[in-house]
C-alpha cells in the first residue's frame, strides 16, 4: 500500500513537511498491524521518511530518486527498500517541453546512476526498485516508448515498478476523462505484466488483479 501526502501531478505545488506529515501519519498508524502487506511512503523528504518508518512503513517511494538533501542518507540509515523513479524537472514544470536524445537510454542511464549512488551509500542492490516515471517529464510518445521498451529496463537487473493507472498518457490518447480510464489502465497493466514488470501500482485493484492473474496463468502453460 503506497501512501503519499504531496501531489506529484503536473503543475502541483510543493507541500511543507508539517502538512505532509499531518496527511500521512494517521493513515500509516491506522494501517500498520492491521494489514499483511508492506507500507510504502511516497515522499522525497527525509523527515517524512523517518517518521513514516517509525510508524510502520518499510519502503521509500521517491519520485525524486533520493536526490533531495539528506534523502539518500536517511534511506540508508533506515535500512529502507527504495523505489527510484525517473523524473525530468519537477512536478511544477516537468511537462513544459520535456525532451530527450533517447528517452529509453536516458532513463536507463539515470536509474543506473542513482542505483550506484544508493549502493555506495550502503543500500543493498536487492533493496532497490526502478520506476521509469510514466508521465513525469514525458510526452505521450516518450511514455509509450517506455512501455514498448520496458523489457530493456527490466533487463538492467533490478525489479521494476510501473505506475500508469488513470494517467494522462491514457486520457490524452483516448480522449477519456479520469473516471473513464479503467479499460486503458487495465490494458497497460496487462502489457506491463506480460513484459515482466514486478510491481504494478494501480487504483482499481480488483480489476487489475484479475488481468494480472490471467497473465500469470498463461506463464504456467507450456
- Active-site residues, by number, are 167, 201
Q: At residue 200, what are phi and psi to the nearest 5 degrees?
A: -120, 115
107-122 burial, b at 16+ Cβ within 10 Å, e below that, comes to bbebbeebbeebeeee
Checking DSSP bridges between strand 199-200 and strand 161-162, what pairing results, if any? parallel
Q: Cell numbers 494517467 correspond to what residue? A: 167
| Cβ–Cβ < 8 Å for 160, 152 | no
Q: Residue 48: which of 91, 31, 125, 40 has the closest Cα?
A: 40
Cα–Cα distance measured from residue 162 to residue 199, given in angstroms and rounded to the nearest whole number: 6
- For residue 123, the SS3 value is coil
141-161 burial, b at 16+ Cβ within 10 Å, e below that, comes to ebbbbbbebbeebbeeebebb
Q: Residue 20: which of 39, 40, 3 has the closest Cα?
A: 3
Amino acid at each position: 500500500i503506497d501512501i503519499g501526502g504531496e501531489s506529484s501531478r503536473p503543475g502541483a505545488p510543493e507541500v511543507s513537511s508539517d502538512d505532509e506529515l499531518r496527511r500521512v501519519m494517521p493513515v500509516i498508524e491506522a494501517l500498520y498491524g492491521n494489514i499483511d502487506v508492506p507500507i510504502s511512503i511516497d515522499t522525497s523528504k527525509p523527515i517524512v521518511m523517518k517518521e513514516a518508518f517509525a510508524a510502520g512503513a518499510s519502503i521509500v517511494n521517491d519520485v525524486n530518486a533520493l536526490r533531495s538533501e539528506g534523502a539518500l542518507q536517511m534511506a540508508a540509515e533506515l535500512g529502507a527498500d527504495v523505489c527510484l523513479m525517473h523524473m525530468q524537472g519537477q512536478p511544477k514544470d516537468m511537462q513544459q517541453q520535456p525532451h530527450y536524445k533517447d528517452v529509453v537510454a536516458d532513463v536507463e542511464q539515470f536509474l543506473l546512476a542513482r542505483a550506484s549512488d544508493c549502493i555506495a551509500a550502503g543500500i543493498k542492490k536487492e533493496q532497490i526498485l526502478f520506476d521509469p516515471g510514466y508521465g513525469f517529464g514525458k510526452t505521450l510518445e516518450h511514455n509509450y516508448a517506455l512501455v514498448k521498451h520496458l523489457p530493456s529496463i527490466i533487463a538492467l537487473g533490478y525489479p521494476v515498478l510501473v505506475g500508469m493507472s488513470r494517467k494522462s498518457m491514457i486520457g490524452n490518447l483516448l480522449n477519456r476523462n479520469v473516471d473513464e480510464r479503467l479499460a486503458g489502465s487495465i490494458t497497460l497493466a496487462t502489457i506491463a505484466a506480460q513484459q515482466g514488470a514486478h510491481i504494478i501500482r494501480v487504483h482499481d485493484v480488483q480489476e487489475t488483479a484479475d488481468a494480472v492473474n490471467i497473465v500469470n496463468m498463461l506463464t504456467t502453460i507450456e
